[in-house]
Structure 1
Amino acid sequence: MTNLEVRLHVGQGATRGPLTVFPVWTDAPTLPPSYLTGAGVPVEVSERAGSPAIDQLVVTNRADRPVLLLAGELLEGGWQTRALTASTLLAPGRPTVEKVVCVEQGRWGGPTAHTRRARRTPFTVLSAMDGGHAQQVVWDRVHGLESVAGPSATESLADRLDRTDATARDMTRGLRPLAGQRGLLVGIAGRPVWMEVTDSARTLKAHWRGLLHAATLDALGRPAVRTPAALARSFAEKVENTRLLADGPAGLGQRVRGGGRVGTTALRRSDRTVHLTAIAQEA
């Protein structure tokens, strides 16, 4: 059992309608990441040979360094588009079977290969990925986005991200990571709901656009209420004080998780938090 080994520092938020984005810094040492991440890294994703399964995909790192994939990353195409359920640090050259959820209920068939664009699921979908009926809940929440992102012939989250891309860019125009920023905290319609923290400003930058687009999709149609900084800092304090328990391997790292009203999951390697996700459980 352990607490987060770094302190979180929440800065001044920027509000765009219902969406408020707060920068997050940590007091961890500034070190270059020992891994690759984001779009464009050489990672192959495919269906299981001979027996594709909704909840599994085969992922192979073709780089000569470890590759970090984040919880909620979309793996698009294949027999149906999926999302990774947990962050993992892939060793070079080693195929691994990763747990995923389907975010395209109405399709089962097609090519075996998937593409990666570092796109992310919104927090309402990400928060549904645990539990005995997780897949049905994920499908229900993807369908629920129809009211703000329109219909999809195959109930595809990717279709809804495509359709809202221009809206997301307009809503978040001018938002960029600040010097040394390691993460962001998202508030929607007056309350904090989601935090992502990495061990490197470079890692945050590689996933910035995908995170903002996902946050925008959650915010569409919600009341234009600013999230107060005091609530954001209280959310961060809850994450800092969460007791984290070992939850199994994460490729080359170790997964830990804990929390009550704010569920926290982190990928750690060599006593360093590589990536952390915290989600308001009542969301």
Structure 2
Amino acid sequence: MRLVDSHCHLQADRFEGDADLVLGGARLAGVERLLVPGWDRASCEQAFALAERFPWIDVAVGVHPHDAANVPDEDWPWFVEAAGDERVVAVGETGLDFDRVFSPAEAQLSNLRRNLALALELGKPAVLHCRSAADQRDAQDALLAELGRAGFDDPAAVAAFGGRPPAIIHSYSGPADYAEAILRLGLGVSFSGLVFRAGEEPSAEVARLVPADRLLVETDSPFLSPPGAPRRRNEPEFVAVTAHWLGERRGVDPETLGGQLVASYDHVLPRQRPA
């Protein structure tokens, strides 16, 4: 089965010392392209180093909501310049997290706004983290409001994307009406091992709603291990588990789905350099 991993933090500490072996396992499993998003300046620089050694790796540059209050304003010009690099196919990981609050909400919102503006300026999709407080949808509602405020619902504002999704909801979680709002904006939706956790049953319905050319799959390694993967460290090769889950929900055989997932990744995250 052909595979991609649209979100993998290979620069995380848990991969220190054997990232090359992990990437070898991913290739043997059929992974053709892999996106490594940063969360602060240091992690973005590490992602660039990986992409320099492995040309089939793509980079996303941005500031995670957890780090929104920790990245000094004087560092932002570095992100702006770095995001223009040909190895960078997306802006992020950015977004909102009102569940595990490591940065105040206002800092998260300010950070999100400048990441969204950068994505629109460059025509590179924003990779969006969105986690609401328990039994709430505060982050989801706030994210939709910010996308509208930034102009993601304005055809002129997203014209640079040429019909491609201007943003990706990474590791999707939420009810069908939230997904419908996302899809009306033309966004991409990425599914991870989170779908196997208790309380995530609505994701099965959402998996059937997403158009094939906006459907993505990820591991969010080293986190969110699916069944069969070590809980201490998820790895890109285990993206196959979630891919098979998607195929079952969509009624598509593995070979057909694999081709669709590769084509969707190529459509949503087009490369600017040869593999």
The normalised TM-score by structure 1 is 0.27
TM-score (norm 2): 0.28
Higher Rg: 1
